[in-house]
Structures are given as C-alpha cells and as structure tokens.
Amino acid sequence: MRRLFTLKKRNSMLSTIAVFRYWEDVHYQYRVGLYDAIEFGKQRNAWKVSFANSDRAVKCWCQVRSLYSPDFMSKLDHLLADNAC
C-alpha cells in the first residue's frame, strides 16, 4: 500500500510539472505575440487560482522553479504569497 501511495504522489508531481511546462509555453507564446493581452490575462488568472487552491502545486513549484526560464519563474513567483518558496 505504501508503494502505491509513493507512486501516486510521484505521478501527481510529474503531472503538475507537465502543467507548469504548458504554462511556460503559454507565457512564451504571449511574448512572441501568439496570445493577446486579454487571453494571456485569463491564463494568468487561472494560474493564480490553481496556486490558491492547491498547496501541493505551490510546494511542487518551489521544488522545480529553477528549471524554468527566469522570466517565467519571476511571473509565477509573483502570483504566490510572499515567501511561499
């Protein structure tokens, strides 16, 4: 049973990391003009809500944030509560 819990926890973290990569791609697409400001604003609001509703997502972000571009990392850090990481 413990092994199953460990696998579920690992899979959850990998899924969350995949979502972060998607978010980073959205951020990049906005920077190169493929998203307009309204579309990107809605995406950012969704990111903020996701962090507000999931302590696990915040914890995961704090563990992997250095693997992302500095500009994207800064944008996501700004959405978190002060000193979250």
More confident of the two residues 4 and 56: 56
The mean pLDDT of the chain is: 92
pLDDT at position 69 = 95
pLDDT 10s digits, 30-61: 999 999 999 999 999 999 999 999 999 999 99
Measured in degrees and rounded to the nearest 5, phi and psi for residue 37 equal -60, -35
Q: Is the pLDDT of residue 4 over 70?
A: no
Q: Is the pLDDT of residue 7 over 80?
A: no
Q: Is the pLDDT of residue 2 over 80?
A: no
State the distance between the two ends of the chain, measured CA to CA, in whole angstroms: 31
